[in-house]
């Protein structure tokens, strides 16, 4: 299974650099440093240009600490995270400003997309995971329609009541997933930290599908990334350049419930089924959180919603790939 988190590859970023340990791993050659680890459960890396080796290693350690802090807010797989506790209890007292910020943007984008972007689709994920992964011989046509309808009654982003001191889910059984936006938030925070420590030339590559650049590659050129072909993720569809912007990609091939890819993780909240109009959507934007969320929203939403969605976020461009391989640019 090809992970959604491996759709972008780096060109000429750190080839041939010797290995050095710093908390996790860092590659060092003169002033170019690389860290490899995980963020929200996905393979991630940081590339940064700095003149002081000791300072760079301290900054990398600060970034690792920030990833750990944000995982305690956003990670579904951690029982102690704010998100896991919200889903378990249906409410969360004294939520962090980070969780409130991400949920607020999620509700805004849900309204712009006509409900296509909806972070309360976790009950659908649970339903499809039980059907395909926890059943010895799952029916190939997917979950029972009545079960889908039952799960859909729990899906509605407007049912998240946001207040400064608490978050409450409207109905028992509702569940929130931030997999389509939180990784972008983490990338933006790491760039803020690195900029605040006078790093010049930065690339945050989180999960291979959320990238945020600041400044140029140490060679003076933009950072160059390869965009995977959704029809064959091992091949490249295009090479793009990043400088002070972000690039995020969503594709149904990333997390498939069965080999054909007909059932995947990008659900249409209007139907309870996997969205099928596109096979890949990439978005370039000034912030990774915006690019991350929009790549999912555009993938699911009706095309007549696209102008309104893009118009709400200046400096955004999108590349949408249809099933036949044809590409639309917005």
Nearest Cα neighbor of 264 from 289, 296, 302, 305 is 296
Chain position carrying tokens 């002081």:
52
- What kind and span of H or E run contains 61? helix 53-74
Angle between helix 182-196 and helix 53-74 axes, rounded to 10 deg:
150
Sheet holding 24-29, edge to edge: 19-22, 24-29, 32-39, 42-49, 202-206, 210-214, 246-250, 278-285, 317-322, 327-329
CA distance 206 to 8: 10
Per-residue pLDDT of the chain (330 residues; tens, 9 = 90+): 333 334 455 444 433 233 233 344 444 444 778 899 999 999 999 998 888 888 888 999 999 999 999 999 999 999 999 999 999 999 999 999 999 999 999 999 999 999 999 999 999 999 999 999 998 899 999 999 999 999 999 999 999 999 999 999 999 999 999 999 999 999 999 999 999 988 878 999 987 788 999 988 877 889 998 888 888 888 888 999 999 999 999 998 878 899 888 999 999 999 999 999 999 999 999 999 999 999 999 999 999 999 999 999 999 999 999 988 899 999
- CATH: 1.10.760.10, 1.20.272.10, 3.30.365.10, 1.10.3980.10. Which one for 82-169? 1.10.3980.10
Q: Give residue 27's pLDDT.
A: 41
pTM of the model: 0.90
Chain position carrying tokens 């929200």:
40
Nearest Cα neighbor of 124 from 155, 89, 84, 87 is 155
Which DSSP string do the residues of 135-171 spell out, in sequence order? Answer: -SS--TT-S-HHHHHHHHTT--GGGEEEETTEEEESS
Q: Is 176 helix (H, G, I), strand (E, B) or coil?
A: coil
Q: Give residue 153's pLDDT.
A: 97
The number of beta carbons lying within 10 Å of the beta carbon of residue 291 is 31
CA distance 309 to 123: 25
Q: Give residue 80's pLDDT.
A: 96
Structure tokens at 60: 């990398």
Over the stretch 129-184, which tens digit does the pLDDT of each residue have?
A: 999 999 889 999 999 999 999 999 999 999 999 999 999 999 999 999 999 999 99
Structure tokens at 182: 């939180």
CA distance 286 to 74: 22
Q: What percent of the chain has pLDDT over 90?
A: 72
CA distance 238 to 18: 29
Q: Give residue 136's pLDDT.
A: 87
Structural domain spans, the chain:
82-169
What is each CA distance from 327 to 62, 80, 259, 281, in whole angstroms? 40, 42, 24, 9
CA distance 304 to 279: 18
């Amino acid at each position: 299974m090809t992970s959604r988190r491996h759709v972008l590859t780096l060109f000429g970023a750190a080839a041939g650099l010797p290995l050095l340990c710093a908390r996790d791993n860092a590659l060092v050659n003169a002033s170019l440093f690389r860290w490899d680890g995980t963020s929200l459960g996905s393979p991630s890396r940081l590339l940064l240009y700095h003149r002081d080796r000791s300072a760079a290693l301290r900054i990398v350690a600060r970034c690792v600490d920030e990833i750990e802090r944000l995982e305690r807010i956003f990670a579904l797989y951690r029982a102690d995270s704010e998100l896991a506790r919200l889903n378990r209890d249906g409410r969360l007292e004294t939520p962090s400003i980070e969780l409130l910020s991400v949920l607020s943007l999620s509700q805004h984008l849900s309204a712009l997309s006509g409900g296509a972007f909806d972070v309360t689709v976790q009950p659908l994920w649970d339903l499809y995971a039980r059907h395909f992964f926890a059943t010895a011989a799952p029916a190939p046509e997917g979950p029972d329609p009545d079960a889908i309808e039952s799960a859909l009654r729990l899906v509605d982003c407007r049912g998240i009541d946001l207040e400064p001191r608490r978050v409450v889910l409207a109905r028992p059984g509702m569940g929130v997933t931030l997999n389509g936006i939180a990784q972008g938030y983490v990338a933006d925070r790491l760039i803020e930290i690195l900029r605040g420590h006078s790093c010049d030339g930065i690339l945050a590559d989180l999960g291979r599908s959320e990238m945020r650049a600041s400044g140029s590659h140490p060679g003076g050129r933009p950072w160059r990334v390869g965009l995977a072909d959704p029809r064959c993720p091992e091949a490249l569809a295009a090479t793009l350049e990043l400088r002070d912007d972000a690039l995020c990609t969503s594709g149904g091939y990333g997390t498939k419930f069965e080999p054909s890819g007909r059932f995947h993780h990008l659900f249409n909240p209007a139907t309870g089924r996997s969205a099928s109009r596109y096979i890949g959507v990439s978005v370039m934007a000034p912030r990774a959180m915006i690019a991350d969320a929009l790549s999912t929203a555009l993938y699911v939403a009706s095309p007549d919603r696209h102008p309104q969605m893009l118009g709400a976020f200046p400096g955004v461009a999108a590349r949408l790939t249809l099933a036949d391989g044809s590409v639309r640019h917005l």
